[in-house]
Structure 1
Amino acid sequence: MDEEEVWDDLCNIPADPPVMREICGNCKRPQIVCWCIALPSERLHPRSNIILLQHPAEEKRCLRTAPMLQLGLAENKCLIFKGKKFPQPRHENLEKILNQPNTILLYPSKTAIDINDLVNHNDSYNLVLLDGTWPQAKAIYASSPTLHNIRQVKLITSSVSSYIIRTQPTEGCLSTLETAAEALSQLEKDQKYKELIKPLHKLCQYQLDNGAVTHQSKEFLLKTRTYPKLIGKRLSKLLRSTSDTASLID
């Protein structure tokens, strides 16, 4: 291609900017893939508050469930703090929240009790969730000594994740959205919080309609000898340690 042809090509480039897809002002996703229609007709107002400690890498994911949770609950009922270590000076009011006696951490440690064994289900709690992959959640916990002093709870549930377009480590893993919905349902003895999961159903259905496929967990693929990759010692240990755990964060 000679210089004249190059200039001809440059001159034919449109001066106007490309047409951008319309963005939903609520979920900030393109209108064509917006899931807001599946949100509860009225934002749910639980007694308890959800406190998400979100790993920075989670914010970069395009198929996140935390925004569904935040938009499905009443304003300020789901607070999100970002970082790899908590609390930090930039996390306004977080240290105060973490030190309150009604704060509980959903984390499957050896000392965690069944969330149903809390003394009074009529109380309100600050329910802390670690939002990230399981290795990210473990790293946040390890680097945040304040979290070690919080009363820890776990979920005992037979629920299976609806997040079928994403590979989970084990069969019992739930997304952040599903974990929060299940926890609120058990804390407040009210199944209406399962409505929070409907946007996830819509998201997955859209993806499946446009070429995505359903994913089995790594645990299932390993058991059936269909996992396509070799696994390291860390994943092998994780699968063994979580085989009896009902739920983990995505």
Structure 2
Amino acid sequence: MEDVPGSCSSVSSEETGPETGDSSPAEDGLVDGLVDAFGGLAALPVEVVERRPTCLRCRRPQKVCLCPFLPPRPLEVSTCLYVVQHPAEESRVLRTVPLLAACLPPGKCTVIVGRRFSEEKYPELAAVCRDSRTLILYPGPKSQNLEELVQNQNLEERVQQQDLEELVQHQNQDLEELVQHQNQNLEERVQHQDLEELVQHQNQNLEERVQHQDLEELVQHQNLEERVQHQDLEERVQHQNLEELVQHQDLEELVQHQDLEERVQHQNQNLEELVQQQDLEELVQHQNQDVRPAKHNVIIIDGTWSQAKNMFLKNSLFHLPKQVQLNRSLSSQYVIRTQPSNICLSTLECAAVALSILERNDHIQEVLLRPLKALCSFQLQHGAQIHHSKEHLLKNGMYDKPMPKNKRKIKRMEKLVTDHSVCPR
């Protein structure tokens, strides 16, 4: 209001007068009347309106804070949401994206504002779009049902789990057979060594007996020589005893050496079995990690249907991820804004349904929709009206706006009435 009187007075008194010079008295009177009428507005004091304090969590004014309806703690989810928001949504008062972000942990709901997204200006978004785990939630003929996609992934995970169990059983059987075979070989070696030791011991006893008998016969037959050669005989006996002692020591060393070899072999076998068992456990852990549900990235376009369509078609990055849609028959709880058809959902509702499917937890949908229901209930209690969808208004003859002249828009509105499964494209 400050610019209006200033501009009028300057044009009338300074510019118009000197340049024209031949203005009529009626025009001068009109200008004077305008100056008298609006000139007093410039003297009025300007009131500075202070913004109401805002809650830092739900981004709502503190008097209408929705934090009591938010979860006490952020929901633990493995899915990362990327909300690509049209700039016009930032100025809307009744937005649902801040409620969605308040229900999820930091980093699980990233909001990116803009109309055009190039790989040079948004490298992180481009990397997300090129990720094979990324899905974009946008309906169309190329879209796959999100529930069917998750069911197929569950089936693949079960098949991988069964294959893993069969592989583990097969490896366990092979390991048991290997251990049994090694134990048998060890027993055979031990028995063979015991037999050799027994034969050697018997041979030594036999040699000692033969030598002892020969010695007795020699002593009996040559008593005289024995007396004469008593010293030589003692030397021989001592020499034989020394040889027996040396042989006995050699035998003990041989037995000790064989025992040592057996222990080393046994330790090596145990070590090999332990290494095989560790390798098997690492293989099982690695395959279990592969079988776990895959982490997904979900891109959601936030805006009106015409804005979302324009953003999807004019950004090539959004054509890289796998395109999915929701086929659940749900009616929107966001009744304070008009939807094109009865099956259209708000951004928060789309995210709630998608997360409940991907996380396999229906409780997530209930928790995320709780603040949205509270928001709509509060607005209706304070004068807001229920907004029926355009489809509902057309079918029941309640659409009071003038019909469009564009043939495409007319056909689109006709489809809303005739086709029950139509969704804005």
Q: TM-score range by the shorter chain?
A: 0.7 to 0.9
Give per-residue Cα distances to partners, 1:2-39, cap 9 Å, x unaligned: 9xxx8xx96xx699x66653321222321112212211
Q: Which residue number in structure 2 is paired with residue 112 of structure 1?
A: 143
The residue type paired with residue 82 of structure 1 is V
Q: Which of 88, 103, 106 is the matching residue for 1:57?
A: 88
The 10-residue stretch of structure 1 (175-184 or 237-246) with the greater mean CA deviation from structure 2: 237-246
The residue type paired with residue 135 of structure 1 is S
Q: Distance in 2 between matches of 1:71 and 1:164?
A: 21
Q: Which residue number in structure 1 is paired with residue 401 of structure 2?
A: 229
Give the Å deviation of 1:89. 3.7
The residue type paired with residue 76 of structure 2 is H
The residue type paired with residue 244 of structure 1 is S
Q: Distance in 1 between matches of 2:124 and 2:49?
A: 43
Q: Distance in 2 between matches of 1:29 and 1:52?
A: 19
Q: Distance in 2 between matches of 1:215 and 1:129?
A: 23
The 10-residue stretch of structure 1 (58-67 or 237-246) with the greater mean CA deviation from structure 2: 237-246
Give per-residue Cα distances to partners, 1:194-215, cap 9 Å, x unaligned: 1111111111111111101111
Q: More relative contact order in 1 or in 2 (CA 8 Å, sep 6+)?
A: 2
Q: Does the residue aligned with 2:153 lie in a helix, a strand or coil?
A: coil
Q: Distance in 1 between matches of 2:335 and 2:410?
A: 22
Q: Distance in 1 between matches of 2:420 and 2:320?
A: 26
Give the Å deviation of 1:52. 0.8
Give per-residue Cα distances to partners, 1:67-115, cap 9 Å, x unaligned: 1111111111011111112245443511111110001111111111100
Q: Which residue number in structure 2 is paired with residue 244 of structure 1?
A: 421
Q: Which of 179, 185, 201 is the matching residue for 2:356?
A: 185
Q: Which residue number in structure 1 is paired with residue 68 of structure 2?
A: 37
Q: Aligned in 2, Cα 1:18/1:102: closer, same or farther, shift over 3 Å?
A: closer
Q: Aligned in 2, Cα 1:151/1:24: closer, same or farther, shift over 3 Å?
A: same
Q: Which residue number in structure 2 is paired with residue 196 of structure 1?
A: 368
TM-score (norm 1): 0.87
Give the Å deviation of 1:155. 0.3
Q: Distance in 1 between matches of 2:46 and 2:145?
A: 62
Q: Distance in 2 between matches of 1:85 and 1:110?
A: 23
- Equivalences for 1:94-243 in 2 at 5 Å? 94-118=125-149, 119-120=152-153, 122-194=293-365, 195-232=367-404, 233-239=407-413, 240=415, 243=420
Q: Aligned in 2, Cα 1:95/1:192: closer, same or farther, shift over 3 Å?
A: same
Q: Aligned in 2, Cα 1:36/1:234: closer, same or farther, shift over 3 Å?
A: farther
CA contact (8 A) 1:81 1:91 kept: no
Q: Aligned in 2, Cα 1:148/1:21: closer, same or farther, shift over 3 Å?
A: closer
The 10-residue stretch of structure 1 (28-37 or 168-177) with the greater mean CA deviation from structure 2: 28-37
Q: Distance in 2 between matches of 1:200 and 1:138?
A: 24
Q: Which of 99, 112, 115 is the matching residue for 1:84?
A: 115
Larger radius of gyration: 2
Which has the larger helix fraction? 2
The residue type paired with residue 383 of structure 2 is G
Q: Distance in 1 between matches of 2:311 and 2:46?
A: 48
Q: Distance in 2 between matches of 1:238 and 1:51?
A: 29
Gap runs ≥5 in structure 2: 1-35, 155-292
CA contact (8 A) 1:69 1:177 kept: yes
The residue type paired with residue 372 of structure 2 is L
Q: Distance in 1 between matches of 2:320 and 2:143?
A: 12
CA contact (8 A) 1:167 1:217 kept: yes
Q: Distance in 2 between matches of 1:223 and 1:235?
A: 16
